[in-house]
Each structure stands twice: as C-alpha cells, then as structure tokens.
Amino acid sequence: MEVIVGKEKHKKTNALRILDTHKIPYSISEYEWSEERAAGLHVVEALGLDEKQVFKTLVGKGDKTGFVVFCIPVAEELDMKQAARVSHNKSVELIHVKDLLGITGYLRGGCSPVGMKKSFPTYFDATMEPQEFVYVSAGLRGMQMKVNPKNLASVVNAEFVSLTMDH
C-alpha cells in the first residue's frame, strides 16, 4: 500500500498503517539516509527543520519493566537516571543497535515509536507536548512523519515527562 503526498507515492510502513487505523492525520517527508550520517541532526539538516521539532526514538531495557521506549529531541541526550525514574525502574540501559531489529522490527535510523513488534511502555519528552506537530521516524530510514504529538501519544499510550539532561 502506498501513501500519496502531493504527487509523490510513499511506501506504507507499519507506523503509517497504524496511524491510518486510528484516523490520525500525518504527512511524510523523505530524505537521503546514509550510515555515515545516521545522527538525528542529519534529518534536521536534510529537511530544513527546527531541531526542537524532530524527535529520535530510543529503546532501553529497565531492570524491572523490561523494554521501554523514549522519544527525545534529536539534539538532546537521554538522562538515564530520569529515564529509570519515570519508567519505574532502578536502572535503564539502552539496548545495543544490533538488537534493535529483533526487539522492535526496526533498523537504526528508522525506529518509529509506532508499530513496534510489541507494545512497550513509551515516554515522550515533555517538550513534545505543547507543539502543534513534531517529526518522528515513519518506520523507514529516510522517512519522517509529521504528526500532532498528542495524537501520537494516544496511539502508543505515551506519557509526556522530562527525559533529557537539561530539564
């Protein structure tokens, strides 16, 4: 199935199918993805976006809850103590990149908070909540979806909490 935005067709990802099922509006932006420029800030540069509107999806493993998902601004760093606190763990460690596909169904650079193999507790950085829209991975490298953060949170049962080092 394909999405048509303007005159362009896009591959329909799991994340997009789920948003469609929930009748959540979104738009797609594509850019050239490369392993050398896999950092989230490349998305900002490639698409000419405000870095405060682009969020990366990180997957951790808590000592009590198991896998947990965090969405934070691409230019920020996850505060691991805060991540543990909000997710009701004593500690959280980010999973290794090589384990990402098996756990989530997504590759590094294309990990979306929507449409993982299983539903995990999900936390969005508090800076996401007041925004009209944000960009997160649509589930493919080189594809971002622009979506309202409250709508996005409703689909994955996410909580808005402070997650980064400077908050």
pLDDT digits (tens, 9 = 90+) for 53-108: 999 999 999 999 999 999 999 989 999 999 999 999 999 999 998 999 999 999 88
Give domain limits for the chain.
26-161
Q: How far apart are CA 28 and CA 58, in angstroms?
A: 21
The pLDDT value given to residue 9: 56
> In the prediction, which pLDDT does 35 show?
64
- Six-digit token string for 139: 């589930």
**What is the band of 137 on the pLDDT scale with cuts at 50, 70, 90?**
very high
Kindly give the residue spans of alpha helices, DSSP state H, lying in the chain. Answer: 14-21, 40-47, 80-86, 97-104, 149-156
* Sequence letter at residue 131: Q
Q: Which phi and psi angles does 23 have, rounded to 5°?
A: 55, 40
Domain boundaries 26-161, corresponding CATH code = 3.90.960.10
The pTM of this model reads 0.89
